[in-house]
Structure 1
């Protein structure tokens, strides 16, 4: 039975999705029964726990609306101003996709929910790839984030760090993962990454999967390996870890696993010394069955480069979750990242969906501020329609907007399946036009296709609304790399200008009209040196962002971050004419 644990998980998925409506109703009833008397809900419910009364009287809110209550608890007031169950800690969001990190209340049930959610999202993966718990190790790049203590004495940390600290996780780590716990909690991320890669190379024959929480972290690890593989091979050859590693925990962990292995070092040298690193993941870790990381949403931009390195290994996006709630699982792990749909799990939170309409590539909430818009229950969403996700949880979030727009792609039994469309309210704008994250990604995808015939890959990009002069214009920062070789010569300027043209042609109707009327100036692409986006990430991490949960911002708003990229520009290119 132990060998087939995932079959129980698959059975549980069928039961949950078949009874989605009843499970959702029971879950909401339980949340309201426990929390109706709290200071927050008492204002709206007056002791009522009926679902329809809840929907008619409790307002739809954002995190900012709940923040005053959360801050009061963080500052020492009792939890019951917001929820009945005691708050044991806070989760901190990554803070890079939509603004400042958010504090999310944590209760005792969260660990149980996570354990169940993990079983559910891993079961379809194990069905396709076999039980990794029995046949290999995971080389996952994991980075704990420092805890902070609120004025009220509660701990606050990232979701992933809270998982890493669990006794059960620490106990199974040596058997199931290549990274010792000391490397995960190393405060120096560069030293941590070096050691996790080194130990993954030493155990290359046991590695059954390569991954991290986000695609961006996997890519950063591979690029780090490109720059440091010779030093790591020297470590493997001599059995002594590099002097660059000063963290005592990492050095102690190395002393337990490292011994001279010249043959392994020579083998890795031969692989890494090739002219092209295409397929390097599969070459270095030949028993790896897949690359596991979230490749949807803002991470989709990394799939092309990750496919280049992975050598045909499937890219598996197993779950959809946020700091607010665990939400959905991928029942088809082998599908392409662009085709991934997440089946919502009805016992993780009470889900509501606010209809939005696609108006010329702009996703707009139906109804005005003066008009009440009815939300749709989980089982009543319609195929092909788009919605903004709301969650109600036992952790003090009531009808709270997550900020994600999702599209219904199908159903599994009675539970809907969604594709991620965009983050709400994340856009670049220089006038009254609004360009969404999805619009920007589409335009970049069209333009970067021009690089392939000349042997270049777009590895990273971000945008900036330059309004320092009138009219303002869009600036795109691009980091490029040659398919062969580790250095980047500047691509043909004519091609780069054509990329500017292609981007403008691919943007939405409003942008094109404004460009033709000279309300918006020509789009600009600034090519930056290799490693520039690593420096950008280092900056955000230094400001408190999580290394493992970092999301490259779609649009730069920080003056300091802008200075980092502007200081390493090696070429500027402009669109020579308005789009047709």
Structure 2
């Protein structure tokens, strides 16, 4: 999807970031200055300094009344000078509730532009590393689009993208880059779509060079699905026809054309590999030419790195882009770096970006432009887009790690509002993932691996304490997980020792935090948790297992599956 663009476009963009950002803001304000929302601050003016002086920094609760009125049928010029053709829904798993944002086709074009740049960057790095051209087995999905009272569809970012003319009208050269035909991506039944993604990928196994998904979790989900359905997939390949339960005719016909006739030899090879006791390295055994896996492995997706490395013989894990429903932000210009070292270079012609220092202490005048951020400092992005969001706080915390030409690069640190707290301590997403990495080292020598986790602060006990839900899986394909109390108690202790000094003080000296608890849940529990969030309006493609669970309904899903409980048996040391 890189047709019409060249890598020099990225060089020009990043070398002229200040002027491009000024031009973007001027264009946005010229389009939107007379909307009811902005008119109260700008009085029809599109001056940058007046904008920065008068337009407040806002959260979703501030803009929701305007969005709701447009969704209910009032004129779009309440918030947008351009047409509003649909709403994008957030995943709802990061911050606890789903949000919707107004957009039009310009959003899709800008997302497509960043994806095209991403493709060019990946092609350059792949060719530099001797990676042949070939196909991508990518697990993409759409979901049904509910309508607002005004009749406008509400979709996820990638449902909107895959159903757009931009995607459907791409050249045949770029459509053939994927093992799955468009009909599989556009199949509204995600179960049928996933099965057909795998079937198409297995039939074309010798052409697969890359495996990908929007987020890491759908990759884990696909492997688990393959583990449960490989015999049926082999039967399809051996017989040369698709299972009868694939009832979506467009999908069925397109996959049948790829399947061709019976292929006993291929079915035997797949059967032999899937019959091994251990599924370690199954990805490289089934798709031997695969050079890397492409998804988002930063932030809360980092929890899936160990299991994907287990399944892939530690193939490179490539995080390529950073974006949200509010805006696409940037891309990784050094994609083969390890996930923990990834930074994203902002693309300055997408939206207007400002940055609020994390230690601003309520001083909104400390906000700086994109090119004025400082190396090593922590910021929360503030976005102004073309569709009605003006100086909107994203809720992510980023750290400036460097510059690409004159454009800053950012490391994703955490979501601002994802914290655990029992007393006065604040355990962040970054703290949780760091602690989890230490605990994972404890279980590496055992016969099982962690495939899913979340947590919450249980204040129903006195004192309150942290509860971690862990789903464990045996490394051997058919082995039963035998829980080792010593190992799991040690994991509890290591988690606590990894938290900051205030947590350890409140736990050890003050006694105001109780012993940390791990509750081991049944296999498949985190799939059930995903199904719950999907039923609330989420999407498989955009699903991110929440690091912290606050919903009583989601907690009930977990509690109903608890097999065993383990507690820390020693207080963490005050000094480490």
Q: TM-score range by the shorter chain?
A: over 0.9
- Residue of structure 2 in register with 1:49 after alignment: 46
- Judge conservation of contact 2:294–2:319 (CA < 8 Å) in 1: yes
* Deviation readout 1:239-296 (Å, 9 max, x if unpaired): 2323443444433333333321110000111111222222211221122222110111
Aligned mates of 2:118, 2:258 — CA distance in 1: 32
- Residue of structure 1 in register with 2:507 after alignment: 515
Task: Report the Cα offset of residue 5 of structure 1.
Answer: 5.5
- Residue of structure 1 in register with 2:211 after alignment: 210
Give the secondary structure class of the aligned counterpart of 1:30: helix
* Deviation readout 1:347-394 (Å, 9 max, x if unpaired): 11110000014xxxxxxxx223xx444201111111110000110111
**Is 2:529 the counterpart of 1:536?**
yes
- Residue of structure 2 in register with 1:321 after alignment: 323
Give the secondary structure class of the aligned counterpart of 2:358: strand
The 5-angstrom pairing of residues 196-235 of structure 1 reads 196-235=197-236
Task: Report the Cα offset of residue 528 of structure 1.
Answer: 1.3
**What is the root-mean-square deviation in Å for CA atoms of aligned residues?**
2.0
* Deviation readout 1:325-361 (Å, 9 max, x if unpaired): 111111111100110000111111110000014xxxx
Give structure 1 stretches of 5+ with no counterpart. 358-365
Q: Which of residues 267, 279, 292 is equivalent to 2:294?
A: 292
- Judge conservation of contact 1:446–1:506 (CA < 8 Å) in 2: yes
In the superposition, relative to structure 1, how do residues 23 and 403 fare at CA in structure 2: closer, same or farther (>3 Å)?
same
- Residue of structure 2 in register with 1:114 after alignment: 111
- Residue of structure 1 in register with 2:139 after alignment: 141
What is the TM-score with the length of structure 1 in the denominator? 0.94
**Is 2:195 the counterpart of 1:194?**
yes
- Judge conservation of contact 1:122–1:318 (CA < 8 Å) in 2: no
Aligned mates of 2:570, 2:545 — CA distance in 1: 30
Give structure 2 stretches of 5+ with no counterpart. none
Moved more, 550-559 or 161-170: 161-170
The 5-angstrom pairing of residues 460-499 of structure 1 reads 460-499=452-491
The 5-angstrom pairing of residues 77-92 of structure 1 reads 77-92=74-89
- Residue of structure 2 in register with 1:559 after alignment: 552
Give the secondary structure class of the aligned counterpart of 1:454: coil
- Judge conservation of contact 2:57–2:392 (CA < 8 Å) in 1: yes
Aligned mates of 1:237, 1:152 — CA distance in 2: 50
The 5-angstrom pairing of residues 22-421 of structure 1 reads 22-130=19-127, 135-171=133-169, 172=172, 175-258=176-259, 259-357=261-359, 366-368=360-362, 371-421=363-413
In the superposition, relative to structure 1, how do residues 133 and 78 fare at CA in structure 2: closer, same or farther (>3 Å)?
farther
In the superposition, relative to structure 1, how do residues 134 and 312 fare at CA in structure 2: closer, same or farther (>3 Å)?
closer
Aligned mates of 2:6, 2:295 — CA distance in 1: 20
Task: Report the Cα offset of residue 168 of structure 1.
Answer: 4.5
Aligned mates of 1:248, 1:462 — CA distance in 2: 39
* Deviation readout 1:68-100 (Å, 9 max, x if unpaired): 111111111111111211111111111111122
What is the TM-score with the length of structure 2 in the denominator? 0.94
Aligned mates of 1:128, 1:13 — CA distance in 2: 15
Task: Report the Cα offset of residue 133 of structure 1.
Answer: 13
Give the secondary structure class of the aligned counterpart of 2:503: helix
Aligned mates of 2:61, 2:149 — CA distance in 1: 20
Aligned mates of 1:133, 1:312 — CA distance in 2: 17
Aligned mates of 2:487, 2:109 — CA distance in 1: 54
Give the secondary structure class of the aligned counterpart of 2:141: coil
Task: Report the Cα offset of residue 397 of structure 1.
Answer: 0.7
Aligned mates of 1:545, 1:433 — CA distance in 2: 31
Task: Report the Cα offset of residue 562 of structure 1.
Answer: 1.5
Aligned pairs, number? 567
- Judge conservation of contact 2:136–2:210 (CA < 8 Å) in 1: yes
Aligned mates of 2:19, 2:166 — CA distance in 1: 32
Aligned mates of 1:305, 1:268 — CA distance in 2: 21
In the superposition, relative to structure 1, how do residues 174 and 264 fare at CA in structure 2: closer, same or farther (>3 Å)?
farther
* Deviation readout 1:414-445 (Å, 9 max, x if unpaired): 00000000001111222332211111111111
Aligned mates of 2:368, 2:258 — CA distance in 1: 54
* Deviation readout 1:138-167 (Å, 9 max, x if unpaired): 211111011111111212211101111123
Give the secondary structure class of the aligned counterpart of 1:382: coil
Aligned mates of 2:41, 2:176 — CA distance in 1: 51
Moved more, 229-238 or 406-415: 229-238
Task: Report the Cα offset of residue 493 of structure 1.
Answer: 0.5
**Is 2:450 the counterpart of 1:453?**
no
Aligned mates of 2:97, 2:456 — CA distance in 1: 18
Task: Report the Cα offset of residue 515 of structure 1.
Answer: 1.2
